Amino acid sequence: MTTRRVRAKRGEGALLREEILGAAEELLAEAGTEEALTVRAVAVRAGVSTPAVYLHFAGKEALVEAVCMRVWGELGRLFRDNSGGDPWLALGRCARAYIRFALDHPVQYRVLMMRPSGSPGVPPAAAEAFGHMVDAVSACMETGVVAGDPEEIALGLWSALHGCASLLIAQPSFPWPDREALIDRVVRVAGFGTALYSRLPRDLPPSDELAARFDALGAELAAGEDQSSP
Amino acid sequence: MTTRRVRAKRGEGALLREEILGAAEELLAEAGTEEALTVRAVAVRAGVSTPAVYLHFAGKEALVEAVCMRVWGELGRLFRDNSGGDPWLALGRCARAYIRFALDHPVQYRVLMMRPSGSPGVPPAAAEAFGHMVDAVSACMETGVVAGDPEEIALGLWSALHGCASLLIAQPSFPWPDREALIDRVVRVAGFGTALYSRLPRDLPPSDELAARFDALGAELAAGEDQSSP
DNA sequence: TCGTTAACCTGACGGTGTCAACCTTCGGTG
DNA sequence: CACCGAAGGTTGACACCGTCAGGTTAACGA
């Protein structure tokens, strides 16, 4: 049997909120899915009766969302820690940090990013993640390498990173050859895609054109690669 | 009140299976979420008692999966229809077709691609989608523009396309500037990323190197663009 | 005509999210 | 000290869900 929680003192009712959040976070990680999470189980682990949860959360939906949002501040910290120095190098670090954050908190990431937005309006998690991308891209723009609308370009970058993260999370039984290699490749391609954005043709050209262009282009890139990796 | 379905004749019991699938498909589209779909509601719409559903499906999970799988064959048709002609042009068309397919069947796509795989092993939907990507990329490889493991390269492409599709589906209230523009950009960048794969440096270089390289590179690409768009 | 069997239905069980109503104890007030 | 308002919960119940054991009906061959 689980020990019953001692009633909080007057004015400290909000303490229970944190304890419920903690219990829900544990159970969500154990269950792996929000559907498998139960308000009753949360209450039991918090040592409290079931309806007590509703004193602090409007419903199960709100509880789950609060649990997921709790860890989201970490993303901001990761972006801040990786933002110094050269903007393009920082962009690569932030991109990796984003994917790694998603893989470190798979349940939270799935709940917040892979669900039909229950509440109307922009989901705060999505807005915050996107905001970080825009910042990173904006910094790169000041180097003069790429031109365009930072938000538009950041959308493409975000999309690529989210695709990698969400595939790895939602398809764990897929025979991924190498997670790290995929992440590296996606970050690299997405980063170069961002850098090349305003210089890319409007669409993929046919093979013969592509081959002709890439002869010179490949040599150019390879030359830079040789000098940058001793 | 809903009319009760007339009992099927002997040997035609499988007819009910199709009717249940149809009812479930309708309700899933109306509800928008699998959680909002109810076995009882499906049975009512099919004009049959609730446990009758279990005569043809192992459970709700199996029913939902069958409904989603029902539309997935369309993806194969789309890829086949877009596979002719030049491989790189076909790659661009297939990429667009993939995203459009996802947007045309948002509920099914979410259920099959954005959920913790309930059953162990590779989800058939994911395997099939990935298989098409590998085929499209393999065809491009024979043009000699890009070299490497087709599966590895296809993973990057798939990841980018899935990211775009899943973001658009899961975040409908996000202030997307222009869906079509985003799709175009993602397809373009992912396609070029695929084409450039074996020629890209191992990581993003710092700004000064990037700028120096892209001067020549941008001119090269722009020249090709001028000649390909009259 | 009759029995077999495919095709379904009835009724129930355990579990879920949620709510109205009740209780219990703290802390200030007369 | 007695009291009482209210913060901080609990009890019991409701409606709904997925699922199953067992009974019922109707079509067909013999």
**Residues A41-83: tens digit of each pLDDT:** 999 999 999 999 999 999 999 999 999 999 999 999 999 999 9
Domain presence at residue A207: no
Spans in chain B with pLDDT lower than 70: 1-2, 118, 216-230
* Cα dihedral sign, A214-A217-A223-A228: negative
Give yes or no: residues A130 and A40 share one domain: no
- For residue range A94-146, what is the model confidence (pLDDT) as tens digits? 999 999 999 999 999 999 999 887 677 888 899 999 999 999 999 999 998 88
Give yes or no: residues B151 and B84 share one domain: yes
- Of B70, B90, B115, the position where a domain reaches its end is B70
| Interface mutation target, options A157, A214, A229, chain B, most CBs of B under 10 Å | A214
Give yes or no: residues A117 and A193 share one domain: yes
Domain presence at residue A228: no
- Shortest CB distance from A220 goes to which of B110, B175, B213? B213
Give yes or no: residues A45 and A77 share one domain: no
d(CA B87, CA A114): 32
Mark residue B82 as left, alpha or beta (left: phi above 0; alpha: psi -120 to 50; beta: remaining). Answer: alpha
**Considering only alpha carbons, which residue of chain B is nearest residue A175?**
B122
User: Quick check: A138 and A150 in contact, CB under 8 A?
Assistant: yes
The CATH number of the domain holding residue A40 is: 1.10.10.60
Give yes or no: residues B200 and B91 share one domain: yes
Q: Which helix (H) or strand (E) holds B216?
A: helix B207-228
Written as six digits, the tokens of A17 are 């909120």
**Considering only alpha carbons, which residue of chain A is nearest residue B121?**
A173
The CATH number of the domain holding residue A95 is: 1.10.357
Give yes or no: residues A25 and A127 share one domain: no
Give yes or no: residues B142 and B168 share one domain: yes
Give yes or no: residues A40 and A106 share one domain: no
Q: Which nucleotide is nearest to A62 (CA to C1')?
A: C17
Question: What count of CB pairs under 8 Å joins A to B?
Answer: 283
Model pLDDT, residue B163? 98
Asked if strand C comes closer than 7 Å to A43 Cβ, the answer is no
Give yes or no: residues A53 and A133 share one domain: no
Round to a whole number and report the distance in Å from the CA of A41 to the C1' of C28: 37
Q: Domain count for chain B, please give it.
A: 2
* Angle of CA points B133, B138, B142, to nearest 5°: 150
- Domain of B39, in residue numbers: 14-70
Give yes or no: residues B45 and B136 share one domain: no
> What is the 8-class DSSP label of residue A47?
T
Domain presence at residue A34: yes
Percent of chain A with pLDDT over 70: 92
Buried b (16+ CB within 10 A) or exposed e, B31-42: eeebeebebebb
- For residue range B147-192, what is the model confidence (pLDDT) as tens digits? 899 999 999 999 999 999 999 999 999 999 999 999 999 999 999 8
A167 to chain B, any CB pair closer than 8 A? The answer is: yes
